[in-house]
A and B are shown apart, each in its own frame.
Chain A
């Protein structure tokens, strides 16, 4: 197979634009996610500045609507989702002992679609105003009658990035089902891999509902359709159903991988096997199943009747049971363990009470009579930020400190990390805890101001101070990244005395991951070998040449094609649509006609690297 060596290997920027290596794609996801996280965070701080004092006039009316819409949309779709995908890319293949994902090309395409979709959405700020109908974009408010071009950006940007997410999920499902190392049975998979698996399943079944919802809103806005036009027989509640059939699973799509990260971190830094591993797996599956049974709890006040509300209320409360199983399993994992409070573990330990508060207010909201009081108040805002920030973001930060050495070959600074944790943790509770009470006192969400002397002044003031503190924490994290990146490769293969397969290979992971596929002999595969007195994993195959997929620029060009077509639809320039979609189809044709033979890393090269390490 000497001819397959002829494949061109790029360097510098072209390497990043053409890469199909899951570890590099993971870094791209993290970088893009961090960029959008900072944008969404700045929008949040501007919102809080406007609400610092009553009767302020910094961002009034439409500007405020754009800020809050873009804050929500950016944080959910463009920050949390790619950060989750970043860790899935960086870690899942390593945890199952695979050399690569099932579809490296599709993986790259998923990233570029997400990124260009997000870019399209954010360009709205410069092209006639951002979307302003809330991240849920309910018609008729989101219809062309009441909302400007911004919602077109929302519809098309999310559509493009949503396709990327869907194909990314299919890639991970096939990877986890087909590419596990010998001995890595399903019930030996690390919990982060399990949660990634269930999250990918949720994406597979939830995102098409969003796709159809966005198509319908787009057809109404751009082609004058009548899905949500009541005068022509349309039905606005249809959108709410479609949006939440996607939207509620989306919450679990985000939080399940965070649960997985917490499980890895708590177990590693307690020096104990995860308590109740099989119940943890079962709870994950059950949460995934129930996620599709609860969407109407976002619509209790719509008027679907007491029977519908009661059924969905019970289903919602039922989710507290598997979630409670998880909480107690983490506590019992720590019980009697040798706990080390590294920064990663601080985030994990901080996660548990914060998430429990979010879960408890969730059960409160699940009771329809009470929900009629809480609905559209700051109580709801407090609730879901406890779940999304106290749950997802804390989990992601824990994962960042934990896997940083494996991804970048350098450790993050622990002192700066602890400053980061405490400022962000205190800031988080200062911001969102008072919001529950503001809501109970009647402060409506999504409104740009409030009157003085209504009992709302102090709570809002404290909330804004907290938001600034979270901003300080994020800046400390960015400084930590800069400090870390300016250092040389220093991390050892296994800086945390880890338990799972990713710690059995050098840091950063070589591009072929495993020189020899490992043989897995139990749960916590590496720990099992350590306890048996072995230095590393037992190989399942002799050393031999490794087949690698070729890099390709096509994923980027395909995504640019859809990006161009998106503009065509928005401005009714259908020639542009045909050109854009044509570019994408031509790329698909090229990919189909020209087979990728890939290239090989030869045995000698592997032996040389092995000797150096």
Chain B
């Protein structure tokens, strides 16, 4: 990666904000996340309204296995840490560190997804299917939307890593990694709320 080091020598201090395109992209992405907050807020509101409506099938208390969810939570929160380490590597213009930590983030995201698919599969066996009750429909929609966001993030960051092998770290690729990091934090924060409102309140409330 000698070419990357040459590029790194010429990069400005915060390469993601060096161009107007980069600044536009970051601001636009923050606004997009604001819209995502409303999107998930609405999904949470629907879930809270319907979470005790279980005329048929298992209730939240019977269903949830907190130890498995705790493992998922641990994996996803760790991936947030690795994405921060990637952004810090970006600010040090350290391409290998950036790509390495982003790859770890992607792997942790994939592990989370595998656990979630297994979890859904198990629930379906226990009679908790998408159409079985309003609780089930709103559960799968909320948690499924989050899972789809994780899946999109995994695919997106993978393509970023692959294209950056060729392009190196530039003022064009830096904003892409920076907003991908923002995105990854956002889906982690959403998961914190899912863990609290769906799983903990499902066990206790």
Contacts and interface: CB of A to CB of B under 8 A. Distances in A.
B96 interface: no
Given A174-B27, A205-B34, A227-B50, A212 B39 contact: yes
B141 A232 contact: no
A213 B141 CA distance: 12
B35 A225 contact: no
Interface string A346-390: 000000000000000000000000000000000000000000000
Given A178-B20, A232-B133, A233-B133, A227 B34 contact: no
Interface string A101-112: 011001000000
Given A178-B23, A205-B35, A227 B28 contact: no
Nearest to A549: B21
A219 B137 contact: yes
Contacts of A224: 130-131
Interface string B6-32: 000000000000001001100110011
A285 interface: no
A225 B42 contact: no
B84 to A, nearest CB: 23
Interface in B103-141: 130-138, 141
A229 B49 CA distance: 14
Contacts of A212: 39, 42-43, 46
Contacts of B35: 166, 170, 204-205, 207-208
B55 interface: yes
B1 interface: no
A226 interface: yes
A225 B141 contact: yes
A215 B53 contact: no
B31 to A, nearest CB: 5
Contact of A593 (B24, B138, B163): B163
25 contacts: A102-B24, A102-B27, A103-B24, A171-B28, A174-B27, A174-B31, A177-B27, A178-B27, A204-B31, A205-B34, A205-B35, A208-B42, A211-B39, A212-B46, A223-B130, A223-B131, A225-B130, A226-B131, A226-B134, A227-B46, A232-B55, A232-B133, A233-B50, A233-B53, A245-B42
A234 B130 CA distance: 13
Contacts of A234: 50, 53, 134, 137
A204 B34 contact: yes
B38 A238 contact: no
Interface of B: 20, 23-24, 27-28, 31-32, 34-36, 38-39, 42-43, 46, 49-50, 53-56, 130-138, 141, 159-160, 163, 167, 172, 176
B169 to A, nearest CB: 14
A178 B38 contact: no
A169 to B, nearest CB: 8
Closest 8 pairs (CB-CB, A-B): A233-B53, A233-B134, A208-B39, A208-B38, A212-B42, A225-B137, A224-B131, A102-B24
Given A178-B20, A208-B36, A212-B39, A235 B141 contact: no
Interface in A583-608: 589, 592-593, 595
A242 interface: yes
A543 B30 CA distance: 34
A209 interface: yes
Contacts of B160: 592
B3 to A, nearest CB: 17
A229 B27 contact: no
A134 B160 CA distance: 45
A226 B27 contact: no
Which of B34, B46, B172 counts the most A-chain CB atoms under 10 A from its CB? B46
A47 interface: no
Main secondary structure of the interface of A (DSSP, over half): helix
A529 interface: no
A232 B32 CA distance: 34
Nearest to B51: A233
Given A223-B131, A242-B46, 16 more contacts: A170-B35, A174-B28, A178-B20, A179-B24, A207-B35, A209-B38, A224-B130, A225-B131, A226-B132, A227-B134, A227-B138, A232-B137, A233-B133, A233-B135, A235-B49, A235-B50
A137 interface: no
A232 B39 contact: no
B28 to A, nearest CB: 5
Which of A106, A206, A232, A595 counts the most B-chain CB atoms under 10 A from its CB? A232
Contacts of B163: 592-593
B159 A589 contact: yes
A216 interface: yes
A242 B134 CA distance: 16
A229 B138 CA distance: 12
Contacts of B24: 102-103, 174, 178-179
A2 interface: no
A231 interface: yes
Contacts of B135: 233
A173 interface: yes
A235 B134 contact: yes
Which of B32, B42, B131, B138 counts the most A-chain CB atoms under 10 A from its CB? B42
B125 to A, nearest CB: 19
Nearest to B52: A233
Contacts of B138: 227
A215 B40 CA distance: 12
A233 B55 contact: yes
